[in-house]
Structure 1
């Protein structure tokens, strides 16, 4: 039997369906360890970076990343979840699925970079009049072309082998941290070089995950095949998700852009300092939901009852975790900004106090995405995120001039609640999801995950 048709060792076999959630959940530990380490390192480095660059340059750097992200978010084309579903349901089409998604994403990435360049030229000529900001935006857009190899992360997760994705992330984090420390303490580098590190990060990750695919799986991306008709089929299935992803990115990044336009770059820097800490806490629901998406899909194939029970359990756990994190951060917020940041960032404490509660809604949103995909209801992803974007843009326009960066944090919290939770009550198809989330939010499901964790039974088996 050819190597590309079957993996040669037990550790790379497809997980037996009978093991269900247990095997998929075991991969969460790898992802959690990586996220804790990576986010911890990134947060510490970001503190030194913010303090050395100052609020204005740190604001320009984050403005550039947000501006580039709003355009380059189209590059993955929302194909990740659909690709993972196809890898699970049609493993014999692995090379065709990986190759097609890779080629499609690479093409979309090149188009996105060109669009970023054209749009930035116009904005710089009409509004920014800042060549440094223009340069930072262009550099921040480049990594998207290398992120086409993220198809391998989805491949590893589909086989409950998240550790191989983790190896790539850890390698990127360690090398990136080393380079940034040199830039900070040896070369005293300016903000441009920190933008260049974003490109280096993407390249390092690609080298590691491709090497693992080549030497552990004994396969090569050169074996991948491309079928543009298959690509179009997946794009059509993913269209609601890519549009939803764009809208999500807009209302997650619009605040920094509007702060930059309505206030100034220094306020963007202060807001970004709080945002970095707050978003660092969002890794828990993100990692758990992404790792368990294959298992959620698998449970749906087994029985509707099993799917409902396991999804409710996951919703309870994510909600409880988000609430616990928000309370802990609120308690520690004063000391965070007193001892970690320069005095010019002190005003960002209130932003952190407000914004971190969005993590509860992030967990609900991740759970909702998994529920919609498993039920083939991706079309509603766009509807609910459009509502969130409308609320976010409107509240930002009203609250930022009146309350400054605290207003932007309030806008984010309310828009997340609308997109991740309240909008699910609108249609009959998504109302079961709304009631599931409501049960978790009011506490009816809290005792179940606590009891399971304490007894060692929270394996989602």
Structure 2
């Protein structure tokens, strides 16, 4: 009994020590703000998005979704893959804040202009009419405001998640209010395209405001002799050498961003070209709900990431591999159970949310919902790739998925319509998440662990050291 009491006291002491640790409290608070914002965003976006879809109907909603997907194919040129790199550099040396943020800001502005120029050429290779192209360019103009996302990078580097949450929640609230007002006032489709631009504008204003607020808070904590130092609200410094250095690091990420966007959005673009706008509306409605009902799983994987990385550091191979199998098994079976449940209620769920105008979305949804299992298995696999220094293989596997997705869409959309696009998504996700693990000797071991995890007894396991 004394031994048990002693261990209990030690455990309580460790827990108290952890909870009162400054670093833990800082990162826990940061994560809590971001998670709360994620839950709020998912709920509001789902509610307003469904309302917009019901108001517009399949054809107009399809045109709006197509325009957004078409623009998304080129947004990698606007972001330039800078986000993670700038965060990394800010963490290394905050004294370069204005130089890094200002350079990244102007690079993103240039990238946004490049997107508009590329789109001006790209639309000539589509069957779009003038009205559809107008929607495309209205939505594309919102990429200019993405330049202000450099402030988000600063918040990430300084672990100021509350400001990210505040800015995003403000933009979401005002943007959603505008969309509701448009519905109630029977606004035309182009007004909803302009609402996308308004979302970007409000988010930019929010970032600028909270950036200034954070700097004022920081200044108030500084020594009195530098409290009067000037802080620019919008960092506009541009340094050519810094720009070259950032782009040198980011170009692989630009390519990766392009591939990912093709992988994620090409299906809706191809459906529009092959079947028309109404088919895109039916498909987009199904996909949005399919992704929305799984919103907690990315949060789960991100929260599991540190424990996953620690598992790979364990010297005992048996324990390490056991934990990896548990990670895979947990994600796979939780996703499978949830997918089956959603599949069972899919008819009622789609009709309840969208109404009978979107009844064709039901069969698409029933297929697409199972792609989420593979997407999240792929997410766990990405952790393994990154931990072992195989990030370059992540790009190649995504590239394979994008190419396969295009080929399958060409074949299956012609034969099966929109359900064919959903099947193409599932098959391409399966290739990326599972098949690619066995195509390289470097990753085959991880593939074997995944296969073994499928037969691993599923139960609630408390990780213990042997």
The verdict on a shared fold, with TM-score over 0.5 as the criterion, is yes
Aligned position for 1:8:
none
| Structure 2 residue 338 is matched with structure 1 residue 362 | no
In 2 relative to 1, CA 416–85 (structure 1 residues): closer, same or farther, beyond 3 Å?
farther
Contact 1:289/1:370, CA 8 A, preserved across alignment: no
Q: How much does 1:118 deviate?
A: 2.7
* Deviation (angstroms), 1:194: 0.5
Q: In structure 2, which of residues 349, 354, 366 is the aligned counterpart of residue 353 of structure 1?
A: 366
Alignment of 1:92-241 (within 5 A): 92-120=95-123, 122-123=124-125, 127-128=127-128, 130-185=129-184, 187-218=185-216, 219-223=231-235, 225-241=237-253
| Residue number in structure 2 paired with 1:5 | none
Question: Is the Cα contact below 8 Å between 2:287 and 2:365 reproduced in 1?
Answer: yes
Q: Return the match for 2:293 from 277, 281, 305.
A: 281
Flag the 1:37–1:328 CA change in 2: closer, same or farther, 3 A. Answer: farther
Q: Does 1:386 align with 2:399?
A: yes
The CA deviation at 1:137 is 0.6
State the 1:287 CA deviation.
4.3
Structure 1 segment 244-323 matched on structure 2, within 5 A = 244-287=256-299, 304-305=313-314, 318-319=331-332, 321-323=334-336
Partner Cα distance (2:406, 2:382) in 1: 22
Residue of 29, 36, 39 corresponding to 1:36: 39
User: Is the CA contact (8 Å cut-off) linking 2:58 and 2:281 kept in structure 1?
Assistant: yes
**TM-score scaled to structure 2, two decimals?**
0.81
Question: Is the contact between residue 325 and residue 456 of structure 2 (CA under 8 Å) also seen in structure 1?
Answer: no
* TM-score of the two chains, using structure 1 as the length reference: 0.81
Deviation at 1:239, TM superposition (A): 2.7
Q: CA deviation at 1:95?
A: 3.6
- Alpha-carbon contact 1:88-1:158 (below 8 Å) kept: yes
Give the Cα separation in 1 of the matches to 2:165 and 2:326: 26
- Preserved CA contact (<8 Å) 1:99 1:221: no
Q: 1:364 to 1:225 in 2, by over 3 A?
A: farther
Match of 2:79 among 70, 76, 79: 76
| 1:336 is the counterpart of 2:349 | yes
Aligned twin of 2:9: none
Moved more, 203-212 or 227-236: 227-236
Match of 2:150, SS state, is helix
Distance 1:76 1:410, change over 3 A: same
| Distance across 1 between alignment mates of 2:437 and 2:242 | 31
Note the C-alpha offset of 1:34.
Answer: 1.8
Aligned: 1:420 with 2:433:
yes
Of the two structures, which has the highest relative contact order with CA contacts closer than 8 Å and spacing of 6 or more? 1
Asked whether the equivalents of residues 259 and 402 of structure 2 are also in contact (C-alpha less than 8 Å), the reply is yes
Q: In 2, Cα distance between the equivalents of 1:351 and 1:392?
A: 16
Q: Of 224, 229, 242, which residue of structure 1 is paired with 2:254?
A: 242
- Range that drifts further, 365-374 or 131-140: 365-374
Q: Quick one: structure 1 residues 86 and 405, their matched pair in 2 at CA, closer, same or farther if it must change by over 3 Å?
A: same
C-alpha distance 285-19 of structure 1, shift in aligned 2 (>3 A): farther
Task: Give the CA deviation at 1:90.
Answer: 4.3
How many angstroms apart in 2 are the aligned matches of 1:380 and 1:205?
34
Query: Equivalents in 1 of 2:203, 2:354: separation in Å?
Result: 30
Aligned in 2, Cα 1:447/1:431: closer, same or farther, shift over 3 Å? farther
Aligned-pair distance for 1:24?
4.0
CA distance in 2, matches of 1:435, 1:93: 45
Q: CA contact under 8 A between 2:351 and 2:358: conserved in structure 1?
A: no
Aligned residues: 427
Distance 1:379 1:196 in 2: 38
Q: CA deviation at 1:135?
A: 0.7
The CA distance in 1 between the partners of 2:75 and 2:283, in whole Å, is 22
In structure 2, the CA distance between the partners of 1:314 and 1:53, relative to structure 1 (3 Å rule), is same
Contact 1:396 1:411 in 2 (8 A): yes
Residues in 2 aligned to 1:91 and 1:436: alpha-carbon distance in whole angstroms: 41
